A = this chain, B = another copy of it.
Amino acid sequence: MAEVKSDIEIARAATKKPILEIGAKLGIPPEHLLPYGHDKAKISAEFISQQKGRQDGRLILVTAINPTPAGEGKTTTTVGLGDGLNRIGKKAVVCIREASLGPCFGVKGGAAGGGYAQVVPMEDINLHFTGDFHAITSAHNLLSALIDNHIYWGNEQNIDIRRIAWRRVMDMNDRGLRHIVGSLGGVANGFPRETGFDITVASEVMAILCLSTDLKDLEKRLGDIIIAYRRDKTPVFARDLKADGAMAVLLKDAMQPNIVQTLENNPAFVHGGPFANIAHGCNSVVATTTALKLADYVVTEAGFGADLGAEKFFDIKCRKAGLKPDAAVIVATARAMKMNGGVKKEDLGQENVDAVKKGCANLGRHVQNVKKFGVPVVVAINHFTLDTEAEIRAIKDYVATLGAEAILCKHWEQGSAGMEDLARKVVALAENGRSQFSPLYPDDMPLFHKIETIAKDIYHAGEVIADKSVRDQLRIWEDQGYGHLPICMAKTQYSFSTDPNLRGAPTGHTVPIREVRLSAGAGFVVVITGEIMTMPGLPKVPSSEKIFLNEQGFIEGLF
């Protein structure tokens, strides 16, 4: 094997084309590309609205098994498949999420793919990029400031200051902000109250931006945000503080999708980044639907494993945006199968075919789950250099027993040359028109019944348990007209169950609901099972310690 280069070295050595050329490949005229430097651009809202009525290309979802510390490479595979489709003569666009800034300074790990399947400029994408997340932070915190300001000046809306649901956000891993008492210091600073900060990707504004179809829709949804309750329990909306207009102004540019390129100079739309936990975790609706108008194939990914990510992609994003995916790719690795089969991380370098076979149960469950949505499935085995032929064979044989195919992919090492087989298979699946996509549950199913359906059909749980207060809350929302909303599950990504240590394919487990939250602007009900962390912390030795500008002014230490 040749010397292994780091992701940032490979990215820096890339021969990038001017972004106007990349846009031209998709027929976007230069005046509709708003450049950010020479290698990033936004696609104008005007151009996007002009594409209405054009036929859509094929939509391919890339999802994965439950993540393990071994790493699966979902984004890498998404980027590699996009390049692979272009290689075999299809006009393909990759649609992925933007990276959150905060975590970059915590633990290493980029969000722009890896090896020879990356989007560039990776440093920019992982840092400020085109400022979308900063705009979301500003819009969110403007609303926060308006709430305390409203109370300060007389509280005309009679907001109950103990029942303010809207916190503040920052795109930083800062545990010291999770729980604060604000407005201290006397009369001039307002009325002291408990509150806190979430990381920006966890903001409902982020989810709204990613689900809105245009600026009008965005403004309406921003107005629909429930910020607090009055003493009589009636909700106070962002609209009641006249915040929606100014918030939409702050998000005007951020709503326009970003176009960059892969290492092989193919177009990639990097836009939106809702937390895959308390939100739906997908690339923006505007980016995906625009890409579908411009390309034969759109390859997009969903957050976490298929139990969380694909389910929300289908039941929230596709349902709401009217998208019909033509095929799904489930990413697996021999290493992850071994971990699911009980092997420890330090022993992953050893061949262990039995562990692979045992761990395949997790993969099998995901394959069968995705099929429940009527979408044809193929498994991508993301190749790692120490994988053995026998291990790969074991996965392929297992997947064949499910009536599907597993294809070895070497995009990390070879770029699109290692992706031809999967690309051809995806085309075959998509073009035979077998996809009969439909969401898991209908809109008019009662909210608790929707939760049970996900828990039983996708997680294979035995039962869902919830306090009377949770059930009552769901019923109140149904009475208020929110019963038609889909469910956004917040669950550990490491297991089908709510126990992160339960690998494989457990059945008959119990799903306890701790809390339910209404995201009235985004348009879903968040169901929280177990602890969820909406503001991460930094590790003992943060990676920021090793990030710096070298003598040439290049960034070092960022992946």
Contacts and interface: CB of A to CB of B under 8 A. Distances in A.
Interface of A: 31, 34-38, 45, 101, 105, 127-128, 131, 134-135, 137-138, 141-142, 144-146, 148-149, 152-154, 168, 170-185, 188-190, 194, 196, 215, 219, 242-246, 248-250, 252-253, 537-538, 540, 542, 544-549, 553, 555, 557-558
A175 B146 contact: no
Closest 4 CB pairs of A and B: A245-B548, A179-B185, A134-B134, A148-B176
Contacts of A252: 549, 553, 555
Contacts of A35: 35-38
Given A35-B36, A131-B131, A134-B128, A248 B172 contact: no
A175 B188 contact: yes
Contact of A148 (B152, B175, B549): B175
Contact of A545 (B37, B175, B242): B242
A559 to B, nearest CB: 12
Given A149-B538, A152-B176, A175-B189, 17 more contacts: A101-B138, A134-B134, A142-B544, A144-B174, A145-B176, A148-B174, A148-B176, A149-B537, A170-B170, A176-B189, A176-B190, A178-B189, A219-B549, A245-B548, A248-B548, A249-B549, A252-B549
A73 B175 CA distance: 44
A553 B244 CA distance: 14
Contacts of A134: 128, 131, 134, 137-138
A141 B248 CA distance: 25
A212 to B, nearest CB: 13
Given A179-B184, A245-B548, A555-B249, A145 B127 contact: no
B219 A250 contact: no
Given A177-B182, A253-B128, A549-B248, A149 B34 contact: no
Q: Is the interface of A mostly helix, strand, loop or mixed?
A: mixed
19 contacts: A35-B35, A36-B36, A45-B553, A128-B250, A142-B172, A144-B176, A146-B538, A146-B542, A148-B176, A152-B176, A152-B537, A175-B189, A176-B189, A176-B190, A180-B184, A245-B546, A246-B545, A246-B548, A248-B549
A220 to B, nearest CB: 12
Contacts of A183: 175-176, 179-180
Contacts of A38: 31, 34-35
Contacts of A170: 141, 170
Contact of A174 (B145, B171, B174, B215): B145
B180 A182 contact: yes
B174 A141 contact: yes
Nearest to A194: B184
A121 to B, nearest CB: 11
A363 to B, nearest CB: 34
Contact of A128 (B135, B152, B244): B135
Contacts of A181: 180-181, 184
Nearest to A547: B246
Contact of A185 (B178, B245, B548): B178
A540 B153 contact: yes
